[in-house]
Amino acid sequence: MAEETRALQVREETRPARVERARRILAPAVDIIETHDDILILADMPGVNQDNVEVTLEKNILTIRGTVQSHAPQGYNLDYAEYEGGDYERTFTLTEDIDREKIEALMKQGVLHLRLPKAGPARVRRIPVKAV
């Protein structure tokens, strides 16, 4: 037992004072809602505000990224934390049915609201049935 304690103490003494960890990348949970004219994506990204979120569209790939800023009280440095947040990233492949020029994004209380308007032909329309 004494040898185990000494081994642990040696490991503790040789450990660096501050270990830099890689940031975790989390896939935000999303709800996808289809309406007559739009597809709505609601992405949960707690800790992300409007200034730290990025939405990009390249070819058919829509990417959302959000960065969480650490919250240490002013005048203090964070020495230890059990909760490790992370940054958020998720991609979606869009079809030609989405009007890319009219996509809108809104960040509200940690939830990213994306409105993807359907292009004209993709909209649902009722076709009347005639009797002969």
pLDDT reading at 106 higher than 60: yes
pLDDT on residue 11: 43
Give the pLDDT band (50/70/90) at residue 29: very high
Tokens (6 digits) for 104: 């809108």
pLDDT on residue 22: 64
The pTM of this model reads 0.70
Domains and CATH numbers, the chain: 22-70+85-121 (2.60.40.790)
Is the distance from CB of 90 to CB of 64 less than 8 angstroms? yes
Q: Considering Cα of 79, then 80, then 83, then 87, what sign does the dihedral take?
A: positive
pLDDT on residue 123: 67
Give the pLDDT band (50/70/90) at residue 4: very low
Backbone angles phi, psi at 91, to 5 degrees: -125, 150
